[in-house]
């Protein structure tokens, strides 16, 4: 980044890492189609399968269980469907249960009709309400089909870690399927599809330093599978037809490999940086509210509210000070509005929320600049009893 800019919006997208850039440049010399049987095609296939192994390793899954897509949104729409197959036999999913804090890609319900989507409440701490989910699953009408539960591992706004293994236990106890959006967890927490006890895992390349426009649906097995979203030439074993986005997939694989290798080191360093950031924020504005600070969060995310400061005003103010951050999710066509996550947590969404998210190249100098900008933005507020 330029010296006068500090990028603290890694949850929206991570800058392309050097490893992904180099891998993609090398792939440019491979002219073949990975579906072709000649030498050039086999070389492309080898590079694609190397990337598949790297992405699988990131989730501790089998390479054969990785389906490449155009991104996490497509992966979500692929798996969130009432139409499944158990081997060759059709299987119906009767209803989809999603947490109230899900990313819109999941919260919208994919291919389910609106009246088949049920919202799971969360506690005031922003954690999915297990007791409420248990009651909802007990009331599920199995004559309509099996239940499906979709809960994210890490919330994209607050960074709060969800108890997805406990959620999966409930889902499976009621004969249902489990889907985990691990987009914000990848590269920040160890992933293990078996330990999470989920049937499906959703990943995105550009959140871990890979290119935009590619993601993956990772499955636990190959017997129970959703009806394909895109049909055609049978690529990805028929689960996702269309010529693979080869160069992006190669970059995704390289980013996944480095994210896995540096996971522990990154987490420790970034955690210390966030601690310094939040201490500086509290010193500058003691009334700042850091959402999720009382529960487990990923190390890189700080979602905060400054009373009497609107989200859009704050975002502009930080931008003018050279700080790139987000007002919650940045995946809604640039809209800045009330946070559905704060609403679900029982907070007044009109207070607004701003998110600073750190990454592998964030420095101590970046944090000091962010604290200085925060102090300026906080000082411009018109607080009750304070002269304008």
Q: How many helices (H) and strands (E) does the chain have?
A: 11, 14
- Classify 344 as helix, strand or coil: helix
Gyration radius of the chain over CA positions = 21
Q: Which residues of 57-96 are buried (b: 16+ CB within 10 A; e: fewer)?
A: bbbbbbeebbbbbbbbbbbbbbbbbbebeeeeeebebbbb
Strand partners, 177: 148
Q: Which of 369, 324, 363, 364 is nearest to 13 (CA)?
A: 324
* 275's tokens: 């601690």
Helix axes 263-284, 246-261, angle to 10 degrees: 80
Quick count: other Cβ atoms within 10 Å of Cβ 271?
A: 15
Q: In which residue are the tokens 């522990």 written?
A: 264
Edge-to-edge strand list for the sheet holding 301-305: 289-291, 301-305, 354-357
Dist. CA 172–CA 178, nearest whole Å: 8
- Classify 149 as helix, strand or coil: strand
Strand partners, 291: 303
Known catalytic residue at 17 = no
Quick count: other Cβ atoms within 10 Å of Cβ 104?
A: 13
Contacts of residue 55, defined as CB under 8 A and 6 or more positions apart, other chains included, come to 66, 203, 216, 218, 252, 253, 256
Report yes or no: 304 and 288 within 8 Å, Cβ to Cβ.
Answer: yes
Q: Which of 362, 266, 298, 363 is nearest to 158 (CA)?
A: 298
Q: Which of 130, 183, 178 is nearest to 298 (CA)?
A: 183
Dist. CA 193–CA 4, nearest whole Å: 41
Which amino acids are annotated catalytic?
331
């Amino acid at each position: 980044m330029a010296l006068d800019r500090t990028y603290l919006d890694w949850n929206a997208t991570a800058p392309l890492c050097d490893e992904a850039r180099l891998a993609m440049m090398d792939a440019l010399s491979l002219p073949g189609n990975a579906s072709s049987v000649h030498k050039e095609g086999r070389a492309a296939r080898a590079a694609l399968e190397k990337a598949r192994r790297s992405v699988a390793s990131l989730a501790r899954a089998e390479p054969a269980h990785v389906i490449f897509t155009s991104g996490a949104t497509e992966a979500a729409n692929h798996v969130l469907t009432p139409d499944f197959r158990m081997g060759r036999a059709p299987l119906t999913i009767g209803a989809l249960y999603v947490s109230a804090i899900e990313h819109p890609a999941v919260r919208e319900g994919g291919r389910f009709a609106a009246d088949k989507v049920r919202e799971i409440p969360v506690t005031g701490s922003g954690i999915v309400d297990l007791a409420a989910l248990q009651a909802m699953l007990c009331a599920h009408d199995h004559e309509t089909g099996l239940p499906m539960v979709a809960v994210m591992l890490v919330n994209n706004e607050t960074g709060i870690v969800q108890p997805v293994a406990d959620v999966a236990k409930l889902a499976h106890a009621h004969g249902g399927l489990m889907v985990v959006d691990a987009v914000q967890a990848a590269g920040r927490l160890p992933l293990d599809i078996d330990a999470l006890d989920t049937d499906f895992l959703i990943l995105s390349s550009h959140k871990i330093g890979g290119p935009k426009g590619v993601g993956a649906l990772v499955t636990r097995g190959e017997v129970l599978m959703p009806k394909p979203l895109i049909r055609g030439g049978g690529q990805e074993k028929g689960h996702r037809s269309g010529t693979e986005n080869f160069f992006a997939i190669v970059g995704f694989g390289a980013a996944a490999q480095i994210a896995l290798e540096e996971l522990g080191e990154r987490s420790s360093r970034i955690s210390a940086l966030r601690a310094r950031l939040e201490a500086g924020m509290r010193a500058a504005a003691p009334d700042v509210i850091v959402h999720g600070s009382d529960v487990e969060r990923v190390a890189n995310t700080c979602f905060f509210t400054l009373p009497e400061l609107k989200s859009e005003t704050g975002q502009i103010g930080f931008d003018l000070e050279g700080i790139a951050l987000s007002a919650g999710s940045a995946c809604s066509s640039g809209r800045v509005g009330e946070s559905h996550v704060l609403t679900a947590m029982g907070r007044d969404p009109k207070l607004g929320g701003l998110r600073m998210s750190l990454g592998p190249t964030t420095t101590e100098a970046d944090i000091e600049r962010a604290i200085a900008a925060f102090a300026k933005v906080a000082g411009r507020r018109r607080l009750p009893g304070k002269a304008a």
